[in-house]
Structure 1
Amino acid sequence: MRFFVLTTLLATAALTSAQSFKCPPKDGQYEDSIQCDKFYNCVDGVATEKLCPDGLVFDQLIRKINKCDQPFNIDCGDRTELQPPKSSKLCPRRNGFFAHPEPQVCNIFYNCIEGDATEIKCTNGLHFDEYSGTCVWPTAAGRQGCDDSKVHTLKDGFECPKVEQTDANGQLIVHPKFAHPSDCQRFYVCLNGQEPRDLGCQVGEVYNEETQRCDAPENVPGCEDWYKDEPSSKPTKKA
């Protein structure tokens, strides 16, 4: 009985709201003045109240039949009200991109579609930003209390230095490189400055830390004789 009464009240409220909305002369879909996920479908001057799927909001300027989209793609302005959330364990609303429920976990988020959550992990070194729905640099995300204590270490003990590298123009190098301390042919790449990869130059070349490229041994101080005992390994000279 209570459910019937509640359903009747909601239906009556929706009808009253639709009746109070004045449709423009042209048929179409029009936004509500105070609720960002509510809109009106106007046909022959008659308004029918509609709601976007929970978690999405309405923008009448979208040139598609479905004008409901993610909140970070739409400026609701003063239309700050929303329908009551239909939440689940990992989805605060049935649709959208949402941060991990533990605030210290900043690199994992969930894509919720009709209440079904899919876990997504940011590329190492990035944090999820709920205002853009994407993974960004930690400084851009501005999240507090993130646990970035996990250190990635290679088998030989190499860890990516915490110091950032910049190029000649002062721009941050996203994937910095580092010379191997004892092997002239090998070098390391730190993906997003955090996750190390052990790489090497082709036989006959050594890593030049100054240019951050593989180079001829004679161009790298200390590595001139790296292949002296392997004459067959020298790169073939071009004619």
Structure 2
Amino acid sequence: MQQSKYVVWSVTLIFWGFLEALSPEGIPAPNYNCPEPNGRFSDPEQCDKYYICKKGEAEEILCPEGLLFDNSIPNREKCVLPHNVDCGAREFVQDRAPGSDPRCEKANGVFNHDDPRVCNKYLNCDKGVAFEMPCPDPLYFDVEIGGCVRQENLSEYAKRCSEENDYLEIDGFKCPGGDTIGPQGLLQQHPVYPHPNDCQFYFTCYFGKEPNKFGCSKGMVFDADNQQCKDPSEVPDCSCWYECKENSACPTNCNPDCTCPVA
């Protein structure tokens, strides 16, 4: 079978469950005139705003920050990643909300890696939390399409990197290399390691070589023994990562394992 010269590894599936789970709340919009008694209709000026009409009564809805309202398919209008949305005259979007990871251009979406030397990884931002994701070798991330493509197919908007500047260190962590046996006693193709100084995060070494940083949900910590995210109370070395325990001898400043810092 002849191989296609234009290979795209789409990141859409990463967001599929995320998009389906979102159900934005609306507010009454009594001044909006519904074009039809029932349906979803785009705002004439703002590309991430739309209206739901039910029996002629309208509600105003904002897409989750970073997504746009796609009205290209009748009766299948929805909020999606912006890469294939034609906003036309709908030139405005909501402002970036505070509190998101500074590496995220918007709270949700896929973006260039923040290190200028890295082109074979990208940032997957989910509700303001940034996760580093690898492109399958030998593809590179193209922000124009929101996916990974071969180097010769990169668009004019894609970031360019030199192969001599492969980024093999994150937060001071480098993949140690060699064979790694996981908690189940099996050889890991992509070994997992705890972050050297942050209990919430961990690294997956892509084919044992390239580190990719991931994180547990806020309030959870990574258990290096079984490589799962758990409540801090279940991980002795990180039980005081977020706060010292009430009966701690050093309640305002303690180590992750609840011991007091050496004076």
Look up the match of 1:127.
140
2: CA distance, partners of 1:80 / 1:103: 29
In 2 relative to 1, CA 124–33 (structure 1 residues): closer, same or farther, beyond 3 Å?
same
TM-score normalized with structure 1 length: 0.50
SS for the counterpart of 2:153 is: helix
Distance (whole Å) between structure 1 residues aligned to residue 32 and residue 127 of structure 2: 29
State the percentage of identical aligned residues.
Answer: 40
1:23 aligns with 2:14: no
Q: CA RMSD in A?
A: 2.5
1:49 to 27, 42, 60: 60
Deviation track 1:87-122 (CA, whole Å, cap 9, x = no partner) reads 423321111111111233211101111122221111
The letter for the 2-side match of 1:147 is S
Shift of 1:150: 5.1
Matched residue, 1:76:
87
Contact kept in structure 1, 2:40 and 2:51, CA below 8 Å: yes
Question: What is the distance in 2 between the residues matched to 1:144 and 1:120?
Answer: 16
Partner of 1:176: none
After superposition, the Cα gap between the structure-2 partners of 1:120 and 1:144, relative to the gap in structure 1 and judged at 3 Å, is closer
Q: Which has the higher contact order (CA 8 A, sep 6+)?
A: 2
Give distance in 2, aligned partners of 1:105 and 1:27: 47
User: What one-letter code is carried by the residue in structure 1 that aligns with 2:67?
Assistant: L
- Aligned partners of 1:150 and 1:102: how far apart in 2? 11
Instruction: Determine whether 1:149 maps to 2:132.
Output: no
Q: Which amino acid aligns with 1:72?
A: H
- Please show how residues 99-118 of structure 1 align to structure 2 within 5 Å: 99-118=112-131
**Aligned 1:165-184 pairs, distance under 5 A:** none
Cα distance, 1:73 vs. partner? 3.0
SS at match of 1:149: helix
Match of 2:78 among 67, 73, 82: 67
Aligned to 2:7: none
**Distance across 1 between alignment mates of 2:162 and 2:75:** 41
Distance 1:65 1:138 in 2: 34
Deviations along 1:99-157, one digit per CA (max 9) or x if unpaired, are 11123321110111112222111123322111211111223324355132158xxxxxx
Unaligned runs of 5+ in 1: 1-13, 152-239
Gap runs ≥5 in structure 2: 1-26, 167-263
How many residues were matched structurally?
136
For 2:143 and 2:165, the matched residues in 1 are separated by 23
Match of 2:43 in 1: 32
Aligned counterparts of 1:63 and 1:27: Cα–Cα separation in 2: 12
SS at match of 2:163: coil
Q: In the superposition, relative to structure 1, how do residues 101 and 129 fare at CA in structure 2: closer, same or farther (>3 Å)?
A: same
| CA pair 20-137 structure 1, distance change in 2 beyond 3 A | same
Post-superposition, which runs of at least 4 consecutive aligned residues in structure 1 deviate over 6 A?
Answer: 63-66
